[in-house]
Amino acid sequence: MKRKVSLVLSSGGSRGLAHIGAINELEKQGFEISSISGSSIGAVIGGLHAMGKLPEYTDWVKTINRQVIWGLLDFALSTSGLLKGDKVFDKMKTIIPDMNIEEMRIPFAAVATDLLNEREMIFKSGSFYEAIRASVAIPTVFIPVMYKNLLLVDGGVLNPVPIEYVERKQDYILVVVNLYGDKKNELNKNVLPNNNSNDNQLNGLMKNMAKLVSSGDKGSLGYYSMLTTTTAAMIHKIARQHIERYKPDILINIPNDSANTFDFHKADELIKIGEMVASEQITKYRIL
């Protein structure tokens, strides 16, 4: 019989494409994913798998290069965020229609942060796209979501590894894919980088954008970079505390230097990293 899995997928930007590789490896090795919870990108990938549409998303994301990413950035004239976040989800809807969470084939929970009330907002019903738009609303990057008089931002702010919200039964094993693993540069040597020589002009535009959102000179972190670095340090600590508290049966730690927030053009590389690390941890679990 297949071992049933309660799967928890953490927040972590484009590194979340490693979630795809971890899911692929779990199923390849005979595990049955029976429930899922996710925060931010973990909610995106988890929800797509719960509705049975992860292969379609994978095919699409593998076509993304830096130019496509640039075309999906819809800048906002707002003090609450740099990006609206509508373009990317409008594009996804042309590939994968919306679905109510309660109609998915696998029980699923997406986590966002209710900013004003300082608590988690858990989506277990209603529109998938409405839930993930709130769950991925990185503060200062994406405009927050107004939902039933609540101001919602990225789930990773309060709960980057939402273990307590995944459905668990006595015979289920707990598997966590954590995108905040220790840095391990040598991992990237085992996979092929996704380089494109035609991206030079676009790289220049993105560098200029980075300068625009940063303050301070080249030798300083700048306001935006300081904010994101500080936030990352807090989120990493919260993630470690959750994992130590719940002690998953299989912990798949993806190195936090595998990719930057918007490196979705590295899909092949990140999926391979997810498969590789998952395979290593599954082997360790079976030996024990």
**pLDDT tens for each residue of 139-155:** 888 999 999 999 999 99
What does the pLDDT look like over 235-276, one tens digit per residue? 999 999 999 999 999 999 999 999 988 899 999 999 999 999
3-state helix, strand, coil in the chain (%, to 5): 50, 20, 30
Number of domains in the chain: 1
In a domain, 199, yes or no: no
Residue 195 located in a structural domain: no
Which of 245, 179, 246 lies closest to 38 in space, CA to CA? 179
The one-letter code for the residue type at 71 is G
Q: What is the model's pLDDT at position 141?
A: 86
pLDDT at residue 187, as a whole number: 52
Domain at 70, CATH number: 3.40.1090.10
* 3-class secondary structure, 250: strand
Of 90-99, 129-138, 206-215, which gets the smallest average pLDDT?
206-215
Asked whether residue 175 is domain-assigned, the answer is yes
Residue 279: the pLDDT is 98
Quick check: helix, strand or coil at residue 162? coil
Most confident region among 9-23, 69-83, 216-230 by mean pLDDT: 9-23
Catalytic residue among 11, 37, 135, 154: 154
Residue 164 in this model has a pLDDT that exceeds 90? yes
Q: Is residue 198 part of a domain?
A: no
Report the SS3 class of residue 191. Answer: coil
Question: What is the value of pTM for the model shown?
Answer: 0.88
> How many Cα atoms within 13 Å fall on the side-chain side of residue 170?
0
Confidence of residue 123 (pLDDT cuts 50, 70, 90): very high
Q: Is position 154 annotated as part of the catalytic site?
A: yes
Within-domain flag for 200:
no
pLDDT for residue 65: 93
- Assigned domain for 190 exists: no
| Mean pLDDT value across the chain | 88
242 domain-assigned:
yes
Residue of 40, 114, 135, 263 marked catalytic: 40
Is there a catalytic annotation at residue 80? no
Separation of alpha carbons 194 and 269, rounded Å: 7
Q: What is the pLDDT of residues 182-238, one digit of tens each?
A: 987 655 444 434 444 444 444 444 454 444 444 444 444 465 667 777 888 899 999
Domain hosting residue 170, numbered range: 3-183+206-287
Torsion of CA 144, 215, 70, 160, to 10 degrees: -40
In a domain, 193, yes or no: no
Which residue(s) pair with 253 in the sheet? 178
